[in-house]
Amino acid sequence: MNILSIETSCDETGVSLVKCSRDNEMYQFDVLGNNLVSQADLHATFGGVFPSLAKREHAKTIIPLIEKTLRDAGIGDSKHKKVNLDSAKAFLEREPETAKALERLIPYETNDIDAIAVTIGPGLAPALWVGVNTARALSTLWDKLLIPTNHMHGHIFSSLFPSSEMFSFPALTLLVSGGHTEIIKIERDLSIEILGSTRDDAIGEAFDKAARQLDLGYPGGALVSKEAEKHRKAHPAHASKLFPRPMIKDDSFDVSYSGLKTALLYYLRDNPIQNPDELSLIAREFEDAALDVIVSKAEKALRARSFSSLTIGGGVIANTELRRQLTVLASSLSLPLYIPEMSLTTDNSLMIAVAAFVANQNEKTHAHTDLEQMEVQANMSSAQFY
């Protein structure tokens, strides 16, 4: 099944065409075309994602990116093309620039595309709508199945790429991103139980805020982590604990990150950073505290219940130290670990094709999505799971 997938939930416009196949429990994903345009530099001056700017950039970028993806996949011209242009354009009333550009896609031969998958949330509403409206328009233009896809499912199943057996169930999934910190149990029927989540800030958000406090810039997780690694390499035996580990001892699987942020704020107010060594020390102390909390909650969940695998998804799993600690944890419990390759940790559209195919194979997609009734899931809450 060839899936054209679209991701516009935040500040990345992603489009992929992926050949998805399955042999019993074995899933395989062959990339026919894959393009990603990041707006991060444009948002950097605001210290976060600015929604109306994100929408404008997605609207400008999306059709050229789809066209490039089709070309990269070697999709050529069709001689006898019948398309539903007017009804397709009707879905792009609020994106006139995108509606006009849609005409560029008329000549392409789309017989080999079986479905369009699009992120419907959670994410920023104005950004999501550009992808959703474009997907509705394409589904109408080419008369293709539309698979509305949850962004978090994308992160959850990203470790199946490029080929993997399906997780052993029940699986414990750790979802760690800029918007989510969740400890989730997934069953074979893909039903999800959220065992614990953050009471306040997400772990990636905490990293981003720490980066701002340390004047490292945006997006900050990778920058904090780079500083922390410098210190870790120079001082492998370092053992002090400058910052608190909120909720680490409590009975729930929930976590909290706002106390850590405040602790860092007060520390920096009283102890301004004087030199590069201090910067990397503080980054390392922050990272140690942030990771201790999530890793010990994951371990607690794994020990409290019976799980057959540990799976990880979300932007924060790009963190080298977290990957290392979870690898050690899974191996100490003799559990298979599913961890996405680095290029699929942050937002991308390949993971949306993967999640759409998994849903399709598990009969979670309907033959016909009601295009008129489609809504985006704008809030970043976790009520969006199956």
The whole-angstrom separation of Cα 28 and Cα 163 is: 4
Select from 108, 113, 98 the least CA-distant residue to 32: 113
**What are the CA-CA distances from residue 169 to residues 164, 200, 233, 328, 336 (Å)?**
14, 29, 37, 20, 11
Write the binding mask 169 to 198 for Zn ion: x where contact by CB under 5 A, - elsewhere.
--------x---------------------
Q: What is the DSSP string of 12-35?
A: EEEEEEEEEEEETTEEEEEEEEEE
User: Is 62 a binder of ligand KG4 (CB under 6 A)?
Assistant: no
The whole-angstrom separation of Cα 76 and Cα 83 is: 16
Select from 5, 20, 17 the least CA-distant residue to 164: 20
- Two tokens, residue 276: 């590069």
Site size toward ligand KG4, by CB under 6 A: 20
From the CB of 179, what's the least distance to Zn ion, in Å? Answer: 7
User: Per CB under 6 A, which region of 20-28, 94-102, 315-323, 324-332 contacts ligand KG4?
Assistant: 315-323
Near ligand KG4 in 207-246, by CB under 6 A: 207-208, 219-222, 225
From the CB of 154, what's the least distance to Zn ion, in Å? Answer: 7
Tracing tokens 């993971």 back to the chain, one arrives at 351
Give 74 or 217: the residue with its C-beta nearer to ligand KG4. Answer: 217
The interface partner of residue 182, options being ligand KG4, Zn ion, none and the CB cut-off 5 to 8 Å by kind, is: none
> Alpha-carbon dihedral of residues 226, 228, 234, 238, nearest 10 degrees?
-160
The whole-angstrom separation of Cα 43 and Cα 386 is: 32
**What are the CA-CA distances from residue 273 to residues 163, 246, 285, 346 (Å)?**
46, 24, 14, 30
The whole-angstrom separation of Cα 10 and Cα 358 is: 23
- Two tokens, residue 306: 């019976």
The answer to whether 239 and 183 have CB atoms below 8 angstroms apart is no
User: Is 14 a binder of ligand KG4 (CB under 6 A)?
Assistant: no
User: Per CB under 6 A, which region of 42-50, 125-133, 172-180, 193-201 contacts ligand KG4?
Assistant: 172-180
The answer to whether 260 and 198 have CB atoms below 8 angstroms apart is no
From the CB of 336, what's the least distance to ligand KG4, in Å? Answer: 23
User: Is 347 a binder of Zn ion (CB under 5 A)?
Assistant: yes
The answer to whether 350 and 128 have CB atoms below 8 angstroms apart is no
Give 288 or 347: the residue with its C-beta nearer to ligand KG4. Answer: 347
The interface partner of residue 316, options being ligand KG4, Zn ion, none and the CB cut-off 5 to 8 Å by kind, is: ligand KG4
From the CB of 319, what's the least distance to ligand KG4, in Å? Answer: 3
User: Per CB under 5 A, which region of 281-289, 318-326, 343-351, 362-370 contacts Zn ion?
Assistant: 343-351
User: Per CB under 6 A, which region of 37-45, 60-68, 199-207, 296-304 contacts ligand KG4?
Assistant: 199-207
Select from 253, 243, 83 the least CA-distant residue to 175: 253
From the CB of 151, what's the least distance to Zn ion, in Å? Answer: 6
From the CB of 145, what's the least distance to ligand KG4, in Å? Answer: 25
Give 95 or 182: the residue with its C-beta nearer to ligand KG4. Answer: 182
Crossing angle of helices 258-270 and 276-304, in 10° steps, is 160
From the CB of 290, what's the least distance to ligand KG4, in Å? Answer: 8
The interface partner of residue 318, options being ligand KG4, Zn ion, none and the CB cut-off 5 to 8 Å by kind, is: ligand KG4
The interface partner of residue 33, options being ligand KG4, Zn ion, none and the CB cut-off 5 to 8 Å by kind, is: none
From the CB of 51, what's the least distance to ligand KG4, in Å? Answer: 14
Write the binding mask 320 to 349 for ligand KG4: x where contact by CB under 6 A, - elsewhere.
--------------------------xx--
**What are the CA-CA distances from residue 246 to residues 69, 119, 216 (Å)?**
45, 33, 24
Give 144 or 323: the residue with its C-beta nearer to ligand KG4. Answer: 323
Q: Which of 33, 121, 126, 179 binds ligand KG4 (CB under 6 A)?
A: 179
The contact set with ligand KG4 (CB under 6 A) reads: 155, 177-179, 204-205, 207-208, 219-222, 225, 314-316, 318-319, 346-347
The contact set with Zn ion (CB under 5 A) reads: 177, 347
